[in-house]
A and B are shown apart, each in its own frame.
Chain A
Amino acid sequence: MATFHFDLVSPEKIAFSGEVDQVDVPGEQGDFGVLAGHAPFVATLRPGILTVTTGGTQQKIIVLGGLAEISEKGLTILADVATSLKELDQTAFAAEISGMEAKLNEKQGNELDRAIERLDHFKTIQQQLNTTALH
């Protein structure tokens, strides 16, 4: 299977860099998979789980929003925050969710909508974590 180059960078570090077979990306307007030879494409990301497939093994990385750029050079993801599943502190994550819930009452209008949307994304991640982390 043809491979392509994938860089995952966050402001603080390079979270992943290397040749991969496939990357499944949580796009803001729907998930999409990237294989070698993908057409040039730019998309924003929602908070979600990124799946990197390399030679049959899968690696899951949590990204909290960002931007994906696909060119002939490969896939580059500029993530706001990128944490691999192993490094994630589940209790801190849960605390962040409850913190966001507590702040909801303060917000109004558009901002409220956006906060709810973000919270939903976070909850989805948590749910996925709870169902898949045991495997």
Chain B
Amino acid sequence: MASLKDMRVRIASTKATQKITKAMQMVAASKLRRAQMAAEAARPYAEKMDAVISNIAAASAGSPASSKLLAGTGRDQVHLLLVCTGERGLSGAFNSSIVRLARERALALMNQGKEVKFFCVGRKGYEQLRRQFEKQIIAHVDLRSVRQIGFVNAEEIAKQVISRFDAGEFDVCTLFYSRFKSVIAQIPTAQQIIPLVVEAPAANAAPVALYEYEPEEDEILSALLPRNVGVQIFRALLENNASFYGAQMSAMDNATRNAGEMIRKQTLVYNRTRQAMITKELIEIISGAEAV
């Protein structure tokens, strides 16, 4: 049986762990607030962008000159899965749930005889996917050194994706990230970004206004679509960031509570053992005194 000293050391070490997880939880909470604000600030832009594109796309639909980013290559043989995950762990199931969704999608596609390629953003997803799909990962972007995700980062990724698309390396691109619903709920999400899925206007919606364009529709559209890819990636990164801190916060909250529970149990055992020892010593003294 462990001696009293060993028990004291163990309790002290559990307490130290609890302090660390508690601190991490509070750091995550404060970072979450900022990440959430950034994610919310990016939403209007992405929404307006969607609205403008679907307006223009509806107006120029069917024209043969429409961009491949919108119309697709006409095939869906090669799929690119753009998997965005966090750079760090200790965030519960955050990274693995995104990877699991991507993996399931990849296996389903491969069963249908399609070719699947991966583009990893973030270290954790790369590490997890590397085990199974090493040869299919065509690129990997690390954002560890980036303190605050800016649009520039997303644009950089978008550029790489688009140049690969133009080179004919894939036909369909799907973006995987975790949508931030609330602190306790982050939803892993798959979103197809190439070719762009334009929502059909609702049946009762007002007829599309007849816009005048300057320059021509096609020109605007061809400038807008690559940009939209960047915007979607940017939004995914921000949502991911907020989700990451949300997940980390609840994971660390759990860890702190578990540590508290463990400390309680260990202290109980420690006190029992200590009392048993005192009783034993007393008995020894008394029976010693009686014997005299």
Contacts and interface: CB of A to CB of B under 8 A. Distances in A.
Interface of A: 7, 9-14, 27-29, 39-44, 67, 69, 71-72, 76, 78, 80
The 7 A-B residue pairs with the shortest CB-CB distance in the complex, in nearest-first order: A40-B209, A43-B214, A11-B151, A9-B45, A40-B211, A13-B41, A42-B211
Interface in B197-256: 209-215, 219-220, 223-224, 231, 234
B45 A11 contact: yes
A27 B234 CA distance: 26
Contacts of A43: 213-215
Q: SS class of chain B's interface: helix, strand, loop or mixed? A: helix
Contacts of B213: 41-43
Contacts of B212: 39-42
B184 interface: no
A42 B210 CA distance: 10
B135 interface: no
Interface in B151-172: 151, 154
Most B CB contacts (10 A, CB to CB) among A9, A11, A43 go to: A11
Contacts, number: 71
Q: SS class of chain A's interface: helix, strand, loop or mixed? A: strand
B220 A9 contact: no
Given A12-B150, A29-B215, A69 B52 contact: yes
Nearest to A27: B214
Interface string B16-44: 00000000000000000000001001101
28 contacts: A7-B48, A9-B48, A10-B151, A11-B46, A11-B151, A11-B231, A11-B234, A12-B150, A12-B151, A14-B45, A27-B214, A28-B214, A40-B211, A40-B212, A41-B214, A42-B52, A42-B56, A42-B214, A42-B220, A67-B220, A67-B223, A67-B224, A69-B48, A71-B209, A76-B48, A78-B45, A78-B49, A78-B52
A128 to B, nearest CB: 22
Contacts of B234: 11
Interface in B98-156: 150-151, 154
A110 B61 CA distance: 29
